Amino acid sequence: MAQTKRKRRSKHRGNAAGSIEARGRTGRKPTAEESKQSIRNEARQRRLTKPPTWNSAALKALAMAVLLFVLTQIGILGGDTSVQQGIILAAMAMLIYTPLAYMTDRWVYNKNLAKSQQRKT
């Protein structure tokens, strides 16, 4: 008689109440690299499911405004920009970038929330 190629499935056990419990992990233990990767995935998931805040948006906008100021002073975004003009430009950029960063963070948060809700159902 020919042998089947299908793998043997692990059995489920029913308890006294009748509900079925799956067997626990019976294979090899995860390696250090696999356990590190699972920890990284959990940290990433925690970070992505955290709702956006105005404080985080302001910090991102501040970083971009500082970068804009540095670029204006180096001469990449304008050859003869004075320090005062660079500060004014950076302050205006900060005012514009803060709500943009918040709206972008909120959009990404809502997208990830919808994706996780879809995965659960």
Q: Where are the domains of the chain?
A: 51-121
Phi-psi region of 55 (alpha: psi -120 to 50; beta: other; left: phi over 0): alpha
Q: What is the rounded CA–CA span in Å between residue 48 and residue 64?
A: 21
The neighbouring-strand residues paired with 14 are 20
Phi and psi, residue 88, nearest 5°: -65, -45
Mean pLDDT by 10-residue block, N- to C-terminus, for the chain (121 residues)? 68 66 68 80 78 94 94 79 88 95 94 84 72
The amino acid occupying position 23 is R
Rounded-to-integer distance, Cα 90 and Cα 67, Å: 9
Instruction: Give CA 6 to chain center in angstroms.
Output: 39
The pTM (predicted TM-score) of the whole model is 0.61
